[in-house]
Amino acid sequence: MKNSVFLFFVFILLIVNILGNENFQKANDAYSQKNYTDAVVLYEELVSQGYKDASLYYNLGNAYFKNNQLAKAILWYERALRLEPANEDIKHNLSFVKQQTTDNMEVQPDPFIKVWFLSVRDLFGVKLWSVFSIVFVGIACVCIVLMIVLSLPRWRMALFVTACVAFVFAFCSIIFANLQKNNINRADEAIIMNKIVIVKSTPDVSGTNLFTVHEGIKVKITDTAGNWVEIRFSDGNKGWVMQEVIEKI
pLDDT per position as a tens digit, 34-49:
999 999 999 999 999 8
Instruction: Say what the pLDDT of residue 14 is.
Output: 52
Indicate whether 103 belongs to any domain: no
Domain span at residue 174 reads 112-185
Instruction: Say what the pLDDT of residue 148 is.
Output: 84
- Per-residue HEC secondary structure of the chain comes to CHHHHHHHHHHHHHHHHHHCCHHHHHHHHHHHCCCHHHHHHHHHHHHHCCCCCHHHHHHHHHHHHHCCCHHHHHHHHHHHHHHCCCCHHHHHHHHHHHCCCCCCCCCCCCCHHHHHHHHHHCCCCHHHHHHHHHHHHHHHHHHHHHHHHCCCHHHHHHHHHHHHHHHHHHHHHHHHHHHHHHHHHCCCEEEECCCEEEEECCCCCCCCEEEEEECCCEEEEEEEECCEEEEECCCCCEEEEEHHHEEEC
Confidence of residue 93 (pLDDT cuts 50, 70, 90): very high
- Cα(49)–Cα(230) distance, integer angstroms: 31
Last residue of a domain, one of 185, 204, 232: 185
Last residue of a domain, one of 98, 128, 150: 98
User: Regarding predicted confidence, which is higher, 13 or 134?
Assistant: 134
- 177-202 residue pLDDT tens: 999 999 999 999 999 999 999 999 99
- 106-119 residue pLDDT tens: 777 888 898 899 99
Does 1 score more than 80 pLDDT?
A: no
Instruction: Say what the pLDDT of residue 181 is.
Output: 92
Instruction: Say what the pLDDT of residue 221 is.
Output: 97
Confidence of residue 103 (pLDDT cuts 50, 70, 90): confident
* Same domain, residue pair 151 and 217: no
Number of independent structural domains in the chain: 3
Mean pLDDT taken over the chain: 89
* Same domain, residue pair 91 and 8: yes
Instruction: Say what the pLDDT of residue 179 is.
Output: 94
Does 51 score more than 90 pLDDT?
A: no
